Amino acid sequence: MGDERLPDFDDSFVTTADLTAARPLPRPSSWLGALAQMSATQRIAAILYILLVVLVVRPDPSLPHAVQSLLFGGVVALPFVVMALADGLRAQQRTSIPFYRNEVFLRNIVQAIFLLIIFMMLYALIVNLFGNLASSGLSINFGVVDRPFGTEVTEGPDPRQRLDFLHNLPVIGPTLANASILRPDTIFRALLVGLINTLRVVALSLVATTVLGIAVGVGLLSTNWLLRNVSAVYVEIFRNTPLLVQLFFIYGGVIKALPARPREAVELPGSVFVSGRGLYYPAVIATETANSLFFLLLVGLILGLALWRWRLRVNERTGQPARGFIYFLAAVLSCGIVGLVLALSGGETPFIVEPPQIGNFNFTGGASFSAEYLSLFLGLTLYTSAFVADIVRAGIQSVPYGQIEAAHALGLSNMQTLNKIILPQALRLAVPPLTNQYLNLTKNSSLGIAIGYTDIYNVATITYNQTGQSVALFAILMVVYLVLSLIISLVMNAFNRRLALKTR
């Protein structure tokens, strides 16, 4: 048995060729084959060609609008037709099947025809727009933002104040300070104030929506009968009624139902007052000694994030508990205490608390949120969090129940199981639809015009009524909301990539 040897196999079938090398395309046998060798460089050239056509081609008044649209769309779609033909000829060289029977060629031709129709419609709309503007004696003038704004802005920073701090900016400070659009009481300044008001309500609503949505979503799956049914009733009411109706109800039926007189306002603990005019609360004013505190808090924040990242690497390398949040909190508190001691050593407290005072006709001092701001904030938060709660519920239910049983078998409590096992996995499913809801919240903030909130949409509408430049102003609005949506999408996509499972 030990003397037996394995038979010798003929190794003539073994190849030494590099199988990872890409197989070259067949050599073209004619000018058709040469045309089939078009690459991605031609696609980039086609995009540049579209831009050139859009910038150079001008309408011919002697031709009917339909003929002009057809010619413009045909000129734009021409390179895509050529590329579709090239792909079809490339496939014909490889398979000997006529290009007009190739699936890729037919799909590309259909896309080229669709592109032709799209550009025809766009051309017709643009020609119709300029024709109507010319017949009415109007023109698109983006310089309208340089004109005076003839309406008082009652929310946010005062656009009539001078921006003297611009002189202190390096390099670009003098240029910005002397810019005509940044003069006091211009339309551009009013639009900036409206944008600030929009960001104020959107930023706070995003945070409140996330917290409330997660809480209600967990409540939908609670074993407590009362909590589960209250959460379900909340979701069904706010998800199935229009946001505009909710805004009117909150503004007219809740906020404005409160007493409007300051002496009749509802007083809450901590010198907080709620009336039909809004919410008034103590203002925290920073003094000159607070700069050192702010600086050291920033240092502590950076140091804490670095320690958190270091502890995560230690956890991955050694398996020791990371406890990143404890290190982060310790760094921030330590730097904050040092900064507070330095601020107090200057002989003045870093902050002064100024409570609101009841006056004859209104509150004086302190800080406040207007009734319009409160109504829009509550409406956006309550409406969007109902959708977020349903997304969180679906994400939690997507986690296999066996993992929950395993966590309980290991002795984890319900709260530990939720924080360590369920929510991290549920977030991977919930983040994409959450992004859509955040974008909807940002765009729905424009409904504040219905209750008189002075956001950028409201300011643009007032300006349009004063100047008649609807196209220019609404183009600016589209760009603003587009940029806000892209920023939110960028942040949420980065967060989604961070949560994604890492595979080899």
State whether 128 and 69 are in the same domain: yes
Q: Provide the pLDDT for residue 250.
A: 94
Give CA–CA dist 347/350, Å, rounded: 9
**252, part of any domain:** yes
N residues, the chain: 504
Do 323 and 198 share a structural domain? no
- Mapped to the 3 state alphabet, what secondary structure does 249-262 carry? HHHHHHHCCCCCCH
Q: Give, for 272, the enclosing helix (H) or strand (E).
A: strand 272-275
Q: Which range of residues forms the domain containing residue 276?
A: 164-282+355-499
Amino acid 44: pLDDT: 62
Q: Clarify whether residues 223 and 269 are in a common domain.
A: yes
The reported pLDDT for the residue numbered 484 is 94
Q: Is residue 21 part of a domain?
A: no
Question: Could you tell me if residue 157 is inside a domain?
Answer: no
**Does one domain contain both 363 and 467?**
yes
Task: Identify whether residues 318 and 441 lie together within a single domain.
Answer: no
Same domain for 371 and 409, yes or no, is yes
For residues 105 and 236, membership in a common domain is answered with: no
What pLDDT is stored for residue 32 in this prediction?
44
Query: Is the domain of 188 the same as that of 269?
Result: yes
* Count of domains forming the chain: 3
Whether residues 365 and 341 fall in one domain: no
**Of 134, 155, 175, which one is at a domain's C-terminal end?**
134
Q: Which residues contact 441 (CB under 8 A, 6 or more apart)?
A: 202, 205, 206, 209, 380, 384
Please report, for residues 76, 252, 261, 415, 445, the alpha-carbon distance to residue 256 in angstroms, rounded to integers and kept in the order given. Answer: 56, 5, 11, 40, 20
- For 173-219, write each residue's pLDDT tens digit: 777 777 778 888 888 889 999 999 999 999 999 999 999 999 999 89
Do 364 and 398 belong to one domain?
yes
Assigned domain for 152 exists: no
Dist. CA 306–CA 317, nearest whole Å: 17
Does a structural domain hold residue 16? Answer: no
Low-confidence ranges of the chain (pLDDT < 50): 1, 9, 22, 25-40
341 and 392 together in one domain: no
The pLDDT value given to residue 303: 93
CA proximity to 464, closest of 482, 476, 446: 476
Cα of 89 vs its chain's centroid, Å: 43
Q: What is the CATH number of the domain that holds 379?
A: 1.10.3720.10
Q: Which long-range contacts (CB under 8 A, 24 or more apart) does 357-361 make?
A: 358/262, 358/263, 358/265, 358/273, 359/262, 360/262, 361/262
Helix (H) or strand (E) holding 426: helix 423-444
Question: Based on the domain organization, do 100 and 238 belong to the same domain?
Answer: no
